[in-house]
Amino acid sequence: MNFIKLAIKNLMRRKMRTMLTVFGVAIAVAALFSLSSFKDGYEKQLTKELDNMGIHILAVPKGCPYEAASLIIHGGVIPKYLSLADLEQVKTMQGVDLATPMLLQQFYKDETPHIVYGINAADMQKLKSWWKVEGRFFSDDEDHVMVIGKNIAEKKNLQIGSTMPFGPNKEPFTIVGILDRTGGQDDEFHFLPLAAAQRVFDKDGLITTIAIRVKDITKISQVGQTLETIPDVQVVTMSQIMGTILNLVGSAQTLLISVIIVAIIICAVGIINTLLMSVNERIREFGMMKALGASGVDIGKLVLIETLFITISGGILGAATSIIASSLIEGFVRGIIPYAPSGQLISSDPQLILLCLAFSVVIGIICGIYPALRSARLTPIGAIRSSYE
Least separation, in Å, of the C-beta of 363 and another protein? 25
The residues that bridge with 148 in the sheet, in sequence order, are 178, 190
Report the distance separating Cα 101 and Cα 122, nearest Å: 12
Pick between residue 61 and residue 296 the one whose CB is nearest to another protein.
296
Q: Say whether residue 381 binds another protein (CB under 8 A).
A: yes
> In the bound complex, what is the minimum distance in angstroms from residue 272's beta carbon to another protein?
24
Stretch that binds another protein, among 120-128, 187-195, 307-315, 376-384 (CB under 8 A): 376-384
- How many chain residues bind another protein (CB under 8 A)? 26
Q: Which stretch binds another protein (CB under 8 A): 9-17, 53-61, 88-96, 252-260?
A: 9-17
Site for another protein in 243-302 (CB under 8 A): 285, 288-296, 298
Q: In this chain, which stretch among 61-69, 206-214, 310-318, 377-385 interacts with another protein, using CB under 8 A?
A: 377-385
If one asks whether residue 378 binds another protein (CB under 8 A), the answer comes out as yes
Enumerate residues 176-195 that contact another protein by CB under 8 A.
none
CA separation for the pair 354, 345 (Å, rounded): 19
Q: How far is the CB of 21 from another protein (least distance, A)?
A: 18
**Kind plus residue range of the DSSP H or E element containing 51:** helix 15-52
Q: Please identify, using beta-carbon distances, which residue of 289 and 367 lies nearer to another protein.
A: 289
Torsions phi, psi of 343, nearest 5?
90, 180
Provide, rounded to whole angstroms, the least separation between the CB of residue 334 and another protein. 48
Q: Does residue 340 interact with another protein by CB under 8 A?
A: no
DSSP label at residue 203: -
Output the CA–CA distances (angstroms, integers) from residue 186 to 92, 116, 180, 252, 361, in the order listed: 28, 10, 10, 26, 44
Helix axes 15-52 and 238-280, enclosed angle (nearest 10): 170
Question: Which of 2, 218 has the CB closer to another protein?
Answer: 2
CB of 307 to another protein, least distance (A): 18
Distance CA 197, CA 178 (A): 18
Q: Which is nearer to another protein, 16 or 292 (CB)?
A: 292
Q: Can residue 15 be called a binding residue for another protein (CB under 8 A)?
A: no
**Does 13 interact with another protein (rule: CB under 8 A)?**
yes
CB of 287 to another protein, least distance (A): 8
The DSSP output letter for 128 is: -
Position 382 contacts another protein (CB under 8 A): yes
CB 190 within 8 A of CB 146: yes
**Which secondary structure element, helix H or strand E, spans residue 40, and what is its range?**
helix 15-52
- Our CB check for another protein shows the closer of 261 and 291 to be 291
Provide, for the chain, the percentages of residues in helix, strand and coil under a 3-state DSSP scheme, each rounded to the nearest 5.
60, 15, 25
| CB of 246 closer than 8 Å to CB of 47 | no
Q: Using the rule CB under 8 A, is 354 a contact of another protein?
A: no
Stretch that binds another protein, among 5-13, 87-95, 127-135, 247-255 (CB under 8 A): 5-13
Query: Which of 160, 320, 323, 376 touches another protein (CB under 8 A)?
Result: 376
C-alpha–C-alpha distance, residues 31 and 16, integer Å: 23
Q: Which is nearer to another protein, 222 or 379 (CB)?
A: 379
Give the nearest distance from C-beta 308 to another protein in angstroms.
18
- Out of 350, 351, 377, 388, which residue is the one contacting another protein (CB under 8 A)? 377
Sequential DSSP letters for 222-283: HHHHHHTTSTTEEEEEHHHHHHHHHHHHHHHHHHHHHHHHHHHHHHHHHHHHHHHHHHHTTH
> Which amino acid would we find at residue 320?
A
Residues near another protein (CB under 8 A) = 1-3, 6, 9-10, 12-13, 285, 288-296, 298, 376-382
